[in-house]
A and B are shown apart, each in its own frame.
Chain A
Amino acid sequence: MADAGMISEREDGVERLRLGFWRENPILVQALGMCPVLAVSNTGVNALTMSLATTFVLLSSAIVISTIRGIIPRQVRLACFVLVIATFVTLTDMAVEAFALELHQALGAFLPLIVVNCMILSRIEIMASRQPISVAALDAIGMGAGFMLGLVTLGSLRELLGRGTLFGAQVMPDRFEPWQVMQLPGGGFFTLAALVIGFTLLDRSLKRWREVPA
Chain B
Amino acid sequence: MTQELWGVFLNAALVNNFVLAYFLGICPFLGVSAKLDSAGRMGLAVTFVMLVASLCAFGINRLLGMIGAEYLSLISYIVVIASSVQLVEMFVRKTSPALFKQLGIFLPLITTNCAILAVALFQTQREYGLLEGLVFAFGAGMGFTLALVLMAGIRERLRLVDVPDVAQGMAITLVLAGILSLAFMGFAGMGASA
Contact = CB atoms under 8 A, between A and B. Distances in A.
Contact of A113 (B71, B121, B166, B177): B121
Main secondary structure of the interface of A (DSSP, over half): helix
A170 interface: no
Interface of B is mostly: helix
Interface string B143-160: 000000000000000000
Contacts, number: 110
25 contacts: A36-B23, A37-B23, A38-B23, A38-B26, A39-B24, A79-B82, A109-B118, A109-B121, A109-B125, A112-B117, A113-B114, A113-B117, A116-B78, A116-B114, A185-B20, A186-B181, A187-B178, A188-B23, A189-B174, A192-B174, A193-B172, A193-B175, A196-B171, A197-B166, A197-B167
B25 A184 contact: no
Interface string B115-139: 1111001100100000000000000
Contact of B179 (A37, A112, A118, A186): A186
A79 B23 CA distance: 25
Interface string B171-187: 11011011101100100
Contact of A90 (B21, B24, B71, B167): B71
- Chain A interface size band reads 35 or more
B75 interface: yes
Contacts of A94: 71
Nearest to A79: B82
A144 B166 CA distance: 26
Q: How large is the interface on B (under 10, 10 to 19, 20 to 34, 35 or more residues)?
A: 35 or more
Contact of B117 (A38, A90, A108, A115): A115
Contacts of A32: 27
A38 B30 CA distance: 14
B185 A186 contact: yes
A193 B78 contact: no
A211 B168 CA distance: 24
Interface string B8-43: 000000000000111111110010000000000000
Nearest to A90: B74
Contacts of A87: 75
B64 interface: no
Contacts of A112: 74, 117, 121
A19 interface: no
A35 B20 CA distance: 11
